[in-house]
Structure 1
Amino acid sequence: MPAAGFSAPARTGGVQFEGKITPIVIVSCIMAATGGLMFGYDVGISGGVTSMDDFLKKFFPTVYKRTKAKGGGNDSNYCQYDNQGLQLFTSSLYLAGLTATFFASYTTRKLGRKLTMLMASIFFLIGVVLNAAAQEIVMLIIGRILLGCGVGFANQAVPLFLSEIAPTRIRGGLNILFQLNVTIGILFANLVNYGTSRIHPWGWRVSLGLAGVPALLLLMGSLIVDDTPNSLIERGHLEKGKEVLKKIRGTQNVEAEFEEIVMASEAARQVHHPFRNLLQRRNRPQLVIAVWLQVFQQFTGINAIMFYAPVLFKTLGFGSDASLYSAVITGAVNVVSTLVSIYSVDKVGRRVLLLEAGVQMFISQVIISVLLGVKVKDQSNNLGHGMAILVVVFVCLFVSSFAWSWGPLGWLIPSETFPLETRSAGQSVTVCVNLLFTFVIAQSFLSMLCHLKYAIFAFFSAWVIIMSFFVLFLLPETKGVPIEEMAERVWMQHWFWRRFIDDGHHHHKVVELPQAAA
C-alpha cells in the first residue's frame, strides 16, 4: 500500500480518471525494483571488491603490496589505495552512464520505454559476463563501461515507464520506490561481499557475477510488459495505445485519459527544441535548482562513503572482515532511513528534511574528522575498538540523514518542478549532472583521502554548510502543490525567483485554494 500523504491524483477540470491496481501495474512495480536494484548493486559492489586481497593481487599488485607493507616509506595509511586505475574501475561506469543517457533519451522517445529497458538489461548482462570472467584490467574496465551503458539506459527509461503506467494515486510512492530499491541494492551488494570475501581466490568473481540477477529480472520484465500508452500514442500507434490503457487500468472507460494523453503528445510534438526551451529565462529557477541539487547531492560525500566504505574502514585500521561488516551496517541504515523519507516527505515538507539533514550531516562529519585527526596517525594502523565503533556510529548518523533528505529529494524536487514542455529535457540534464559529479567523486576520492587525510570529512562538511544556505534562501517549498500550479503558487511567490517568471506567459488565473488539513 502506498504511503499516506502523497500528492492528490491529477485532475482534469475536476475529473479523476478511473483505474484499478491491475497485475500489469504490479509487474511494473517489480520492474522498478529491478532497475533500482541493478543501479544500487553496482554502487555497492565495487568498494567491497576493491578491498579484497585476491582482486588486488590479480589486477592491482602495487596496491596489494602497499596494503601489506607495515608502515614505513611514504605510503601512509591514508594512501594505501591511492591508484588511478583502481579509481577508474569504479568511476568508468558513471562516465559511460553519463554518455549513454544522451542516446537513451533518443531511444526512449523514438523506440519506446520497453525497448530501451530491454537494451539496458542486455548491455548490463554483457558487462556482468566480462567482469566476472575478467583476465586483465582492460577486460574489467570494458565490462564496467557496458554496465554503465545499462545504468544510463535504465535510469532514463524505468522512471518514465513507471510514472506513465502507475495509477495517479500511487505515482509518488513508485517514484521513491525506485530510490528505496537503489538502497536495497547497495545493502545486498555489501552482504554479498561479506560472504564472498571468504572464498579464495575467486570470491570477487561471484560478487561481480551476481549483478546479473537484477539484470535478468529486468530482461524478463521488459519482454513481458507492453509499452506505455503514452509511448505508443507518441509514436503514432493510437489504437494499440488505447488497448493497453484499457488493460492496465482494468476498465473500458478510458476515453478521458486517452484524450488527455493524445493532447499531451500533440503538445509535446510542438516543442521542437526542448533543450533550447529549457534555457529560456522563465525556466531558469527550475534549471538552476535541478543542477545544483545534483552537484550538492554528490558533495555531501555520500558516494565517497558508499563506493569505498570497506576500503575506508580498512584504511582506518579495521580488519578485512570488520570493514565489510561495517559497510553492511551503513547499508542497512540507508534502507531504513529511506523509508523515513517516504512517510515524512509529504507531511513535514522538503525544506524541513533538507535543513535538518544539513545540521546532522555537518555535526557527524566534523566529529568523524576530529576523531580521526586525534587517533589515526599516518603510520598507525589501529583505531582502537571503542573509537572504531564511535566512527561507525557517526558514519551511520551521516548516512541516515542523507537517506531521508538529499538522497530521494535530489530526484523528487526536479521531477515535480519542471513544466510539461521541458520535463523530459530537464530529466536528462538532471541525470547527466548527477552522473558527471558521481564520476568526479569516484575518480578522485582515494587520491583526496591520501592528500587530505582525516580533513576529507571537513572538506565535505564545508559543502554541507553551503548547500544548507542554498536551501534556506533559494529552495521554495513544493509540498502539496499540484505540478501545473507550480508557477503561480511557488515561483511567483518567491522573493528571488519571481523576477524570472514572466507574468504574461501564464494564462491561467491564480486561484486561492484553502489549505488542506494535515
Structure 2
Amino acid sequence: MFGLTTDPVRRIRNPLAHLTNEQVIKDVEDFSRSSGLEEYTPMLVKGALIAKDPPAFETVPGLSEDEMEAIRNEVLHKWRQPRSLYFTIILCSIGAAVQGWDQTGSNGANLSFPDALGIPITNTLADGSPNPNASRNQWYQGLVNAGPYIASALLGCWCSDPLNKYFGRRGTIFASAVFCFLSPIGSACAQTWEQLLVTRLLLGIGMGCKGSTVPIFSAENAPASIRGGLVMCWQMWTAFGIFLGTCANLAVKDTGAISWRLQFGSAFIPAVPLLVGIYFCPESPRWYIKKGRYSKAFRSLRRLRNTELQAARDLYYIFAQLRMEAALVQKNTNYATRFIQLFTIPRVRRATLASFTVMIAQQMCGINIIAFYSSTVFEQAGASITNSLLASWGFGLVNFVFAWPAIWTIDTFGRRSLLLFTFPNMAWTLLAAGLCYLIPSSSSAHLGLVALFIYLFAAFYSPGEGPVPFTYSAEVFPLSHREVGMSWAVATCLFWAAVLSITFPRMLAAMTPTGAFGFYAGLNLCAFVMIFLWLPETKQRTLEELDYIFAIPTRTFMKHQVGTVLPWWIKTYIFRRKIGPCPALWSFDGHVDNDKDFVETVRRQSLAVAGGRRRSSIADKIANRF
C-alpha cells in the first residue's frame, strides 16, 4: 500500500509511474470529464505525462520551449514564482505580527499595568510597607498575560475546523482578523484587570483561528521545493511583530499613566492589512479539491504557478495522490470522529505525535519566558525601566534578524537538522544566562553578560525552533485531517505557552532567575531527545508524498535512529571516520523536485540552451546537492 516496499530502504513511488502513457491519458480524460475541465484536457494530459516521468519531460509531445524552460526553472530558479503567490503568503503571514506584537506589548506593560489596575506584584508597596497580596497578584498578572493563549488553546484553535469547512481558508482568516483588530483596542480601554482579561481572551479566539489556518493556507499554496521558506514567513512576521512591539514600548514609555494602554492597544495595527487584503488572495486549491470544486482549484493554481502547464500538472498530481490517500484515512466524518482519529489511525497518529513534539518543544525551550517577561527579567538584573525596555528591544531585534537565514536553510538542511543543531546551543546559552545572575549586581558585567547570553539564545532559536514548528505541523497531516490536526498542534503550543505565562512570575520569585533559567535549559535537552526519536524529515516533499513517510511505524523509525543514525553520527563526527553518507530509511522515486535523473536532465538542457556557458555553474551546484 502507498508504494512502500518491504526493502530495508522504504521506496516510495510516484503513483503514476507504474501506468502506461495510454492509461494516464485515459485516466486524465475521465478526470477532465467528471470535473468539468474538458476544455483543458490537452493541457492536463501534458501535465500528467510530466508528473508521471519527470526526467523525461522533454519527450512529452506538444511542449513549447517556454513550457520546457518553466520546468527547468523549477530547479534552476526555484524562487522565481508569481507575484500572486508571494502576495498571498506575505499578506497572510502579517497576521502573525499580531501575536508577536501582543507578546511584547504585554511584556512592556508588565512594568506598570499591575499597579495601575490595583494588583501590585512587588513584595513591598509604594509606601514601603509589606504587600500581603504579592503572591496572589503574581498569579493574576500571569493569568492576564496568558489570557490569549488560554482562549486559543481551549476555543480559538478548535473553531478553525468548522470555520474552514464552511467558509474556507480565506473566510476563517478574515474572521480571525476581526477579533485581532478589535480586541487590542478593548484592552487599551479596560478599567479593571478583569476587563483586561476578558478582552485578551477574545484576542485569543482570533489568534487561535489564525494560527491554525494561515500556516495550512501557505503550505497548500506553495510549491514543495520552497514550501518551508514560504511557510516560515509566519515566524518571520511573528519575530517582526515582537520587534515592532518593543519599538512601540520604547516610543510610549514616557506617556505616563496611559503607557500600558498604548502598549496593549497598538497590537491591532497588523490586523488592518489582513482585513483589507485577504479576499484579493486566491483560495487554497487543495481546499477546493477537498470540496470537489476542481475548476476553481485549477483557477487558483493558475494564479499560484508560473504557467498553465504547471498548474495542470499539479492539479492532476494532487488528485492522484489524494486518491491513494483515501485508502489510508476515512473521509466525510464528523468533527468528533476526525479528532478521535488523530489518535487511532496509524498514519495520522504518527503525524499527531510529531506535531505535538515540535510544538511542545517550542515552549520547553524557554523562548517565551523571554518574549513574555524580558522586561521583568532585565529589571531583576538591575536595569532601570528604560534600560529594561532597551534590552528587550535588543532581544526583539536579534530574534528578527536571525530568523532570516532559515528562509534558505529550512529547505536545504531541513527542519529536523535545524532543530537538532539549535536545541543543545539553546540549552547552554540559557543556562549561562541564569548563572550570570550569580555575579554581584554591583559588577558592571552583571547586566551585560545576562543580556549577551539571552541574545545568543535568541540567535540560536530564531533559525531553528522559531520557524520549524508551525511550518512542520502545517505539512504533516493528510488533507482529510489537516484542519483538526493543525488545531491540535497549535492548541498544544498555546496551551503550554499559557502554562508558562501563568507560572513564570511565581517561578521567578520562588526559584530565582538562576533556578528558572536552569530548569528550562534542562527541558531543552529533553526536547532534543524527543525530536531525535520522533521527528521524520519533511523537506522538499509534496504534502501528499508525506503520507508515505508517516506510513512508516514509529518503532521502525526509532530503531533506525538509535541503531543506524546515532552510530553513523558518532563514527563520522566524533571519531572522524569517512564512512560515506548515512543510510536512509526511505527513498523517493520519480518526483519532479529531487529526482537525480531529472536534475541531470535539467543540467544538460540548460547547458544546451545557454550554449554551455551562462548556467553551467548554477546547474553544477544543483547537481552536486544530490
**TM-score, length-normalised on structure 2?**
0.70
Aligned match of 1:277: 341
Cα RMSD after superposing both structures: 3.4
| Structure 1 counterpart of 2:331, one-letter code | Q
SS at match of 1:404: coil
Matches of 2:140 and 2:119, distance apart in 1? 11
Report the 3-state secondary structure (helix = DSSP H, G, I; strand = E; otherwise coil) of the residue aligned with 2:383: coil
In the alignment, which residue of structure 2 is the partner of 1:33? 93
Structure 2 counterpart SS, 1:339: coil
Question: Does 2:232 align with 1:176?
Answer: yes
CA distance in 1, matches of 2:430, 2:276: 42
- How far did 1:397 drift? 1.2
CA contact (8 A) 2:346 2:551 kept: no
Task: Report how many aligned residue pairs link the two structures.
Answer: 490
Separation in 1 of the partners of 2:322 and 2:348?
Answer: 21
* Contact 2:212 2:483 (C-alpha < 8 Å) held by counterparts: no
CA distance in 2, matches of 1:244, 1:420: 17
Contact 1:234 1:265 in 2 (8 A): no
The answer to whether 1:209 aligns with 2:265 is yes
Name 2:3's counterpart in structure 1. none
TM-aligned CA deviation for residue 350 of structure 1? 4.0
Aligned to 1:187: 243
Render the CA deviation track for 1:7-57: whole Å, top value 9, x for unaligned.
Answer: xxx9842459989833432331332331121121122211111113xx333
1:176-232 residue CA offsets vs partner (Å, 9 max, x unmatched): 111111101001101110111111121222222221211111100124334333334
Is 1:388 the counterpart of 2:444? The answer is no
> Aligned equivalents of 1:426 and 1:497: distance in 2?
26
Give the match for residue 83 of structure 1: 138
User: In structure 2, what residue type is equivalent to 1:257?
Assistant: D
Moved more, 387-396 or 131-140: 131-140
Question: Which of 427, 437, 452 lines up with 2:511 in the alignment?
Answer: 452
Give the deviation of 1:443 after TM superposition: 1.0
- Structure-2 change in CA distance of 1:424 and 1:436 (3 Å): same
1:467 counterpart = 2:527: yes
**CA distance in structure 2 between the partners assigned to 1:353 and 1:255 by the alignment:** 34
Distance 2:433 2:241 in 1: 26
Residues 125, 131 of structure 2: 8 Å contact kept: no
| Corresponding residue of 1:123 | 179
Give yes or no for contact 2:282–2:303 (8 Å, CA) kept in 1: no
Are residues 1:367 and 2:432 paired?
yes
Letter in 1 for 2:437: L
For residues 108-146 of structure 1, the C-alpha deviation after alignment (integer angstroms, 9 at most, x for no partner) is 122111111111111122212211222222321121111
Report the CA distance shift for 1:478/1:492 in structure 2 as closer, same or farther (over 3 A).
farther
Once the two structures are superposed, what CA deviation does each residue of 1:67-88 show, in whole Å capped at 9, x if it has no partner?
A: 7566x85899xx7996122111
1:286 Cα deviation (Å)?
Answer: 3.2
CA separation of 1:319 and 1:509: change in aligned 2, threshold 3 A = closer
Give the structure 1 partner of residue 457 of structure 2.
398
- Other-structure match for 2:397: 332
8 Å contact 2:169–2:283 — kept in the other structure? yes
Deviating more after overlay: 388-397 vs 218-227: 218-227
- What stretches of structure 2 of length at least 5 have no aligned partner? 1-47, 58-69, 75-79, 563-585, 598-622
Out of 447-456 and 471-480, give the one that drifted further. Answer: 471-480
Mapped partners of 2:444, 2:406: distance in 1: 32
Deviation per CA, 1:126-167, whole angstroms, max 9, x where unpaired? Answer: 212211222222321121111111111111222222223334
What corresponds to 1:502 in structure 2?
A: none
**What letter matches 1:517 in structure 2?**
N
Letter in 1 for 2:526: I
Specify whether residues 63 and 492 from structure 1 end up closer, same or farther in structure 2 by C-alpha distance, changes over 3 A only: closer
* 1:178-257 matched pairs, under 5 angstroms: 178-249=234-305, 251-253=307-309, 254-257=311-314
What SS does structure 1 have at the residue aligned with 2:191?
coil
Residue pair 1:492, 1:498 contacting (<8 A) in 2 also:
no
Corresponding residue for 1:378? none
| C-alpha distance in 2 between matches for 1:206 and 1:495 | 50
1:291 Cα deviation after fit: 1.3
Instruction: Give the superposition deviation at 1:461.
Output: 1.4
TM-superposed CA distance for 1:235, in Å, is: 3.6
Would the aligned equivalents of 1:417 and 1:486 in 2 still touch at CA under 8 Å? no
Question: Aligned letter for 1:48?
Answer: G
One-letter identity of the residue aligned with 2:148? L
Distance change in 2, residues 1:51/1:496 (3 Å): same
Q: Once structures 1 and 2 are overlaid, which stretch shifts more, 296-305 or 267-276?
A: 267-276
1:60 to 109, 113, 118: 118
Are 1:309 and 2:374 an aligned pair? yes
- Structure 1's unaligned 5+ residue stretches are 1-9, 376-381, 500-507
Larger radius of gyration: 2
Amino acid of the structure 2 residue aligned with 1:441: L
User: SS in structure 1 opposite 2:254?
Assistant: coil
**AA partner of residue 362 (structure 1):** A
Corresponding residue for 2:60?
none
How many Å apart are 1:358 and its aligned residue? 2.7
Does the 8 Å contact 2:439/2:446 carry over to 1?
A: no
User: Do 2:357 and 2:531's aligned partners in 1 also have CA atoms closer than 8 Å?
Assistant: no
* Letter aligned with residue 285 of structure 2: P
Match of 1:156 among 185, 189, 212: 212
CA shift at 1:408, angstroms?
1.8
Q: Answer whether contact 2:148 2:200 (CA < 8 A) is retained.
A: yes
In the alignment, the residues of structure 2 paired with residue 87 and residue 492 of structure 1 have an alpha-carbon distance, to the nearest angstrom, of 40
Secondary structure at the aligned position of 2:190 is classed as: coil
Structure 1 residues 126 and 269: CA distance shift in structure 2, 3 A: farther
SS at match of 1:202: helix
Within 5 A, what are the aligned runs for 1:129-148?
Answer: 129-148=185-204
Distance 1:498 1:415, change over 3 A: farther
**Structure 1 residues 178 and 497, CA gap change in structure 2 (3 angstroms):** same
Classify 1:276/1:107 alpha carbon distance in 2 versus 1 (closer, same or farther; 3 Å): same
Matching residue of 2:421: 356
Percent of aligned pairs with the same residue?
A: 24
Does residue 517 of the first structure (1) align with residue 575 of the second (2)?
no
Q: Which residue of 2 aligns with 1:434?
A: 493
CA contact (8 A) 1:303 1:438 kept: yes
Instruction: Classify the secondary structure of the residue corresponding to 2:269.
Output: helix
Aligned-pair CA distance for 1:354: 2.6
Question: Quick one: structure 1 residues 56 and 65, their matched pair in 2 at CA, closer, same or farther if it must change by over 3 Å?
Answer: farther
Q: Please report how far the alpha carbon of residue 396 of structure 1 lies from its aligned counterpart in structure 2 after TM superposition.
A: 0.9
**Distance change in 2, residues 1:417/1:497 (3 Å):** farther
One of 429, 443, 446 as aligned partner of 2:502:
443
How many Å apart are 1:487 and its aligned residue? 4.6
Question: How much has 1:409 moved relative to structure 2?
Answer: 2.2
* Most deviating of 146-155 and 407-416: 407-416
The verdict on how the C-alpha distance between 1:75 and 1:312 changes in structure 2, with shifts beyond 3 A counting, is: farther
Q: Distance in 2 between matches of 1:490 and 1:409?
A: 23
